[in-house]
Amino acid sequence: MTSPFGLEGKTALVTGGNQGLGKAFALGLAQAGARVAISGRRAEANRAAAAQAAEAGFDYVTITADITDDGQVSAMTEQALQAFDGRIDILVNNAGTCYHAPAFDVTDDEWAGVFDLNVRALWKTSLAVGAGMRQRGAGSIVNIGSMSGLIVNRPQWQLAYNASKAAVHHLTKSLAVEWAPYGIRVNAVAPGYVKTEMAPVDRPEFRRHWIEDCPQQRFALPEEIAPSVVFLASDAASFITGSILVADGGYTAV
């Protein structure tokens, strides 16, 4: 009997799949049986992530792309489609960025840079990949939001990031409703504090707010968040769309 959690025969594209959470998501999808393509701005980082995956027995397609550029979004999508015989079943919109600064110190360029990658690039990638999903009448998009779209992080201020992730959550719901008739499911995962290159969650000065305020009294590792992405991508979540799955150790529950 085939498990609904399995992704055998499926293809997946993960943006920002060469480090941190994205790398864990790509590996989780591959472990579940999917053929995986990762994209990122840095070709060297893409190759390094693919080499690590190869050591575990998985063969990635690597695509170098800056998805804040519409032309490169189109080229990335076409390259993935060519590698996967014209079909992308799963899109994980993971690429993102963050600036840490008090509100009065945030520059226009920093604000625009966060929204350009975290929201606009996600939107344009969803359109590019979603077009093929609509044509086939099936597909699953998993956006990576954040509990920062639900709470205000402290003591490290990051207004643009928080606002961008709130936008991702509502964009997720909006697309889910509009695209449900096309057989496309759109959901999001909202991680809490996870130790990655972008998040220094183990620094002592943050322990009071980031660890002690969390009911589980700890941060997560990327591989703990990956199964939530795999679940939403799989047929086990066939009746789930427009949902924001919060994986935060209980942080937003109190």
Mean pLDDT of all residues in 119-124: 98
Count CB atoms within 10 A of the CB of residue 110. 18
Q: Would residue 161 show up in a list of annotated catalytic residues for this protein? A: yes
For the chain, which domains are there? 11-247 (3.40.50.720)
Of these residues, 161, 182, 193, 251, which one is catalytic?
161
Is the pLDDT at 1 greater than 70, yes or no?
no
d(CA 26, CA 137): 24
How many C-beta atoms lie closer than 10 Å to residue 8's C-beta? 10
pLDDT digits (tens, 9 = 90+) for 73-115: 999 999 999 999 999 999 999 999 999 999 999 999 999 999 9
CA gap 158, 146 in Å, rounded: 12
**How much is the average pLDDT of 210-228?**
97
Alpha carbon distances (Å) from 65 to 53, 59, 82 = 20, 19, 16
Q: Give the per-residue pLDDT at 192.
A: 98
Q: Is 198 a residue whose pLDDT tops 90?
A: no
Q: What is the pTM of this model?
A: 0.97
